Structure 1
Amino acid sequence: MELFQYLIMMKYWEVIVLGRTILSGKRNKNTIPVNLGRILIFCEGATEKYYLEYFADIIRKNKFNDIKVEIESANGNASRVFHFAEAFLEDENNNRKYHNYKKYLVFDCDAPPNIQKIILQMLSSNDKLELLISNYLFEVWLLMHFEDVETKMTKKEIYNRLSDHLKETYGKASQGIIREIIQNGSVEDAINNAEKLVNKYKVSGKDIKSNIGEMNPFSNMHFLIEQIMSVIS
């Protein structure tokens, strides 16, 4: 086999496998490859950006799929990332460039205190923003790569559980730690675990429009990640 062909084959294998992230039939769903299209994601912090850019780098920009990730700041909160997104899209050049992109906001629920009000403002935005929420922290979604997350935990407890799985102290996420979580954990399990929580709250009549304070733990990151996995698997 020629070297070029071999490298191509190995690159496709890396994309498909992603450690243990193959979406197998055990989800009892017919995973049909989809065209992800063009999406623009606004994140409140670096951890979310590292995570999403891991997948963006795999998909790469092409004729059919493109993921663009914007970050508000390393110390943002839900309100700040929302206003950042609004200002970004009010810019004439940005609005023209990303007019046909589907737009997402990725944020935690630890701040500000009036998070429910902020969520309602986001949902009523003229920019038609899709919300990807983690409560209490984005690390709840990361922990779902290793285990079911069914009970409310403090930030310290979440970090300690991640540290146990990573065999090193989890403090501030880096690109290396994110890569380790994705490759040594299971994206498929994270999707399943998040989906179970969403269904649990749905059965009890709770939703993000009215009850986010009661929905802890919670993450709906799987709404986007499942689409991404369908494209690359």
Structure 2
Amino acid sequence: MLKQKYRSFSVSVLDPSRSGIKIKSLDRSGEELINKAINDKKKNKQIKANDPIYVVFDRDKHDKKELLRCKKLARENNITILFSSICFEIWILMHFEPVFSSYSSDELFKKLSGPKYFDQDYKDFKGVDIRKLRPFLFDNVQFAKDNADKLYKIHHDMINDDPFTNVGNYLKEIFQTNEL
């Protein structure tokens, strides 16, 4: 959806079957995702040494030691981590309202299912065609970014803070735009 919104043809993923951003749940730990990105970078000759690489994951079952290893591994390999705690849905909720309280995944899903949000079971949206999300999120990216910036001012430690997200910090960089 963001690639469409910003008409970002320069953003791509390593997927020979499809150009553009691919969102795929790999059901792996952050460390496994970072290692996969490192290996993909080594194997794919289209990736230049200075090309930015982003790995997106959330807290889920990661403990502090794992997150510290992830940060170190990413830093050593010039990879940027986009991270949300407790889960990515904290970023989704920011499209509707500021977030300063911690939620469990179940609480976030229940809240997003409510009438002020998706007004239907949010689990039905997870992993679906992004066109279904578009009416809810497309025009609210700047609002979400502003909400994320407010949260980041007080919760900027991915290891210890909850709620936390830094997704909004990188949107302008990824999509090479000044406007969200």
TM over 0.5, shorter chain: yes
The root-mean-square deviation of aligned C-alpha atoms, in Å, is 2.4
Q: Distance in 2 between matches of 1:176 and 1:74?
A: 21
Normalised TM-score (structure 2)? 0.78
1:67 corresponds in structure 2 to 12
How far is the alpha carbon of 1:138 from its aligned partner? 0.6
* Whole-angstrom distance in 2 between the partners of 1:177 and 1:163: 14
**5+ unaligned residues in a row in structure 2: which ranges?**
14-20
Greater relative contact order: 1 or 2 (C-alpha under 8 angstroms, separation 6 or more)? 1
Contact 1:191 1:226 in 2 (8 A): no
Aligned to 2:16: none
Residues 1:189 and 2:139 aligned together: no
Superposed CA offset, 1:42-65 (max 9, x none): xxxxxxxxxxxx22234242xxx3
TM-score, scaled relative to structure 1: 0.62
The SS at the match of 1:97 is coil
1:66-107 C-alpha deviation (Å, 9 max, x unpaired): 33335564422312211211111121xx1x311142111111
Partner SS for 1:156: helix
Which structure has greater helix proportion?
A: 1
Pair 1:198 & 2:143 matched: no
Aligned-pair identity (%): 23
Select the structure of larger CA radius of gyration. 1
Aligned pair count reads: 164
| 2:59–2:87 Cα contact (<8 Å) kept | yes
Matching of residue 178 in structure 1 with residue 130 in structure 2: no
SS in 2 for 1:134: strand
Unaligned runs of 5+ in 1: 1-53
Residue equivalent to 1:56: 3
Structure 2 partner of 1:42: none
